[in-house]
Amino acid sequence: MVFILYKKDTSPPCRSVQMVLHELGIYDVELIEVNLPERDHLKEEFLRMNPQHTVPTLIDGDFIIWDSHAIVTYLVNRYAKNDTLYPKEPKQRAIVDQRLHFDTGVLFAILRATAEPVLYNNEKSFKQENLEKMEAAYEFVEKFLTSDWLAGDQVTLADICCVSTISSMNVIVPIDKKKYPKIISWLQRCSEQEFYKKANEPGLKKFIEMFKNKIGN
């Protein structure tokens, strides 16, 4: 079965889905890049699939699902050979879920609020209050890291989804290795994973180039 993924490589949520697909060994995927500035996501064909007109959007046969966290949990629940990425044990799963909600409500929320005005509204600098919120988010993540990974002793969806966002935040507010040594070590461990190399690094490089083109740094 061929999956279809509508995505934008600079988008952390899209990169999360691609990392999970890679980790699950699902390679038979038709990747369709959505040009947001050209408003591809507002075309009638796309709106029929996803009335929220967001990326990523995944088609699996006759099933259509959007929102990166909904997509990755669906993929693991249906196609994973074990529950390593998304444990079935209620307490372990609750921790992973908490981290996923943190990614949605805190990490990606502040990244989007900070980046979009510069990338798409031609603002020349970041709002100081948003930069401070990023620092506050780093402080939380540093405290979450009581083991090698964000939700225990092994890689889970929490790491995959959060690292796509945090590696992007690091472009705007570089993570201080003295203040946040656990995050730096965690990022290093994530960067050594094959899914990160194959499905996060290429889009992250494009994300960096976007900012270089916009703010000249």
For the chain, give every domain's residue range.
3-79, 90-215
Q: With 0-12 CB in 10 A as exposed, 13-18 as middle and 19+ as buried, what is 14?
A: buried
Closest CA to 86 of 27, 5, 16: 16
CATH topology of domain 90-215: Glutathione S-transferase Yfyf (Class Pi); Chain A, domain 2 (1.20.1050)
Return the bridge partners of 33, or none. Answer: 7
Active site residues: 11
* Residue 112 token pair: 């989007």
Domain covering 3-79 in this structure, CATH number:
3.40.30.10
pLDDT of residue 123: 86
Place of tokens 């570089």: 174
Please state the pTM of the whole predicted model. Answer: 0.96
pLDDT of residue 1: 61
Tens of each residue's pLDDT in the chain, 217 residues: 689 999 999 999 999 999 999 999 999 999 999 988 778 888 888 999 999 999 999 999 999 999 999 999 999 999 999 999 999 999 999 999 999 999 999 999 999 999 999 888 888 889 999 999 999 999 999 999 999 999 999 999 999 999 999 999 999 999 999 999 999 999 999 999 999 999 999 999 999 998 888 776 5
pLDDT of residue 212: 84
SS3 content of the chain, % helix, strand, coil (to 5): 60, 10, 30
